[in-house]
Structure 1
Amino acid sequence: MTNTVDVADLPRPTREHLAELPPTATLVYLHLRNEGGPRTLRQIAYETARPRKSVHRALRKLHDEGLVTCSPRHTEPPASEWTIAGMS
């Protein structure tokens, strides 16, 4: 059984940082944290049932704040994978 992380389980600085961002950004952050591995924008949008445009905007905000990282995935077509910053 996998333990899921909720906002209350996050360190206080992270909670305070997320509180300043839109709700979709918090949802995307928690989803990435709970999945524990890299996800593409398409996967995140599908798994959270949110529009791609909203997920993309949330990922950009999280990236700008240093909370997530992006790395290229060499597939056809190319896609980027997103992870929580500092998590392997």
Structure 2
Amino acid sequence: MSDATLSDLDTRKRERLADLPPTASLVYLELHNASGPRTLRQLTYQMARPERSILRALRQLHDEDLVSCSPRSTDPPSSEWRVDG
């Protein structure tokens, strides 16, 4: 199975992503295609983008209820992000 692209998403999600910056769409697709939740560090490494840009995109996606975050009990603590729905 190949990775999903924006055109593979339902119309409503595409419309919601269209209102966000391009990095948010890329982060959404990375999470959508992932085999499980990802931490900020994993996303930064996988996408080869600045942590600050990824974090900003995650917050925007979270504000739009497109992704969710759950805390992970690690040292240091980190959060795991996943696509909602």
Give the TM-score category using the shorter length: over 0.9
Q: Which runs of 5+ in 1 are unaligned?
A: none
* Total equivalences in the alignment: 85
Q: Using the TM superposition, give the Cα deviation of residue 31 of structure 1 relative to its aligned residue in structure 2, in angstroms.
A: 0.2
State the alpha-carbon separation in 2 of the partners of residues 13 and 58 from structure 1.
19
Q: Deviations over 1:29-87 (max 9, x none)?
A: 0000011310000100110011000000000000000000000000111000000012x
RMSD: 0.7
Residue 71 in structure 1 maps to residue 70 in structure 2 = yes
Identity between Structure 1 and Structure 2 (%):
59
Q: Using the TM superposition, give the Cα deviation of residue 3 of structure 1 relative to its aligned residue in structure 2, in angstroms.
A: 2.1
| 1:64 partner letter | D
> Which 4+ residue blocks in structure 1 deviate beyond 2 angstroms?
none
State the alpha-carbon separation in 1 of the partners of residues 80 and 56 from structure 2.
15
| 1:76 partner letter | D
Q: Which runs of 5+ in 2 are unaligned?
A: none
State the alpha-carbon separation in 2 of the partners of residues 33 and 85 from structure 1.
9
**In the alignment, what sits opposite 1:34?**
33
State the alpha-carbon separation in 2 of the partners of residues 50 and 26 from structure 1.
13
State the alpha-carbon separation in 1 of the partners of residues 50 and 27 from structure 2.
12
| 1:56 partner letter | L
- TM (norm. structure 1) is 0.94
